[in-house]
Structure 1
Amino acid sequence: MIDRIGVNKEILHGTPCIKGTRIPVYLILDLLAGGATIDEILDDYPDLTKEDIQACVKYAAMLAREEVGELEKVA
């Protein structure tokens, strides 16, 4: 699932985004933290999938465990 998140210096100055979009991971996490449901987010961002949103949460969990180096080696 984490392969859905990309880090590219040319896109939003390297802010982690959902691959194929310019939607930053932090935006999705902020929406979830603010009480938005997955269905509400999907309604507002129809190009996203449930798996994209789950990947954002998984990315946040990796950050909390300080495992982001693994993602950056793949990206």
Structure 2
Amino acid sequence: MEVKVLHIDPEILGGTPVFYGTRVPIKNLFDYLETGETIETFLEDFEGVKREQVIKLLETSQKLIESSTAILYENLT
């Protein structure tokens, strides 16, 4: 089964990207990680978010960063 991660709806928090099925902004996860909190703490604080969603989001973010880095490097040379 495919994990739905992201939802954007102008009626939910003015279109802020949230975890699918919740009103929890994606940015909250990165804020937690940036301050040294664990994924477990995040999941405890935002019970509507599933571990699978967090993992999929981080995997997708990594792929985006890797592909963006390649594109930026190509444009610098």
Count the aligned residue pairs. 66
| TM value normalised by structure 2 | 0.66
Q: Structure 1 runs of 4+ off > 6 angstroms?
A: none
The structure with the larger Rg is 2
Q: CA RMSD in A?
A: 2.2
Answer 1 or 2: higher relative contact order, Cα 8 Å, separation at least 6.
1
- The one-letter code of the counterpart of 2:11 is E
Q: Give the aligned partner of residue 42 of structure 2.
A: 41
Could you list the runs of 5+ residues in structure 2 that have no partner in the other structure?
A: 69-77
**Would the aligned equivalents of 2:6 and 2:20 in 1 still touch at CA under 8 Å?**
yes
Identity rate, percent? 29
| TM value normalised by structure 1 | 0.68
| Residue 23 (structure 1) aligned with residue 16 (structure 2) | no
